[in-house]
Structure 1
């Protein structure tokens, strides 16, 4: 048993629920900061930004699970569903902040989506993730069957890419952080295509 096998053996004793609990902690912390003046002079914009970036971070983490397994043999597959749902949780709050705290008007929603390309791109990514969040459960897997379920969940790839493009388009000028996320996502997608499947040591 190698190092990967030892790590995988230890991971089998760690359930997925701590990922949900710990993963959802940033949202109430950001809200607390916003209510206490910790998000600066534009708290709504800052809250929106932090929730969106946190969602993107969890999406990137979920995207890295398969390349990590193929490169090192370390298997985090059991936590990928939790990572995806925590990402969707923060993304939903990001969208809710934009709708209810920023726009504050349902009449402006469609106009904003159509007139602002970065919102169009971000909304497209969110729409792609909705069926994935709804089917991230064992019942959906049984009803759809493994093949159709896996095909559906490949929508993760364009959704994450759209999220990174949304971030790049959102910021003013060419800032490093959004470009780093975009580069990381492109690299992870490339690795998924090129890396051969690897049998995980147990």
Structure 2
């Protein structure tokens, strides 16, 4: 784990543990840039002490198909401006800490933390796309549907990661790893399939 949390260290630092506060600030600022689309950029950079709350978990707020489509549409609509805003956060953050221009450019183009942000965003978007596909495939039915079951499954897993991560950087790394592995399996889940088959069997017996 020590090696894992060293990955997003800022340029010029040997490991993240010697610069934890600085890196946590950067993770917070980039998260703000992505999740609020820059709407809170004027408030300054600060550590968000409420990030572990379940209320910050967007998937938990999806209660029906309309809610899913709203989340998908909002994420897609905000992508370009959110990442543009993220680059401004990186530049402002690093300029304030006296990083030279070449280091700033290198970090934005090749920095592991930035790449993790992009990849995590992409995997999350893929998950929402899979849920939307299932929703339409089953005639836009939500209650008891494969889409609802799969959302509940991944939402529970990601919420567990959020609530049990010691800091925002660990949360990002663990979320990225989970979504990457889930994407490799097509976001399918044996537990969900078994649960649906059990429900089908129950309905068949009732008939």
TM-score after normalising by structure 2: 0.34
TM-score after normalising by structure 1: 0.34
Larger RCO (CA under 8 A, 6+ residues apart):
1
When you count helix as a share of all residues, which structure comes out higher?
1
Largest Rg, 1 or 2: 2
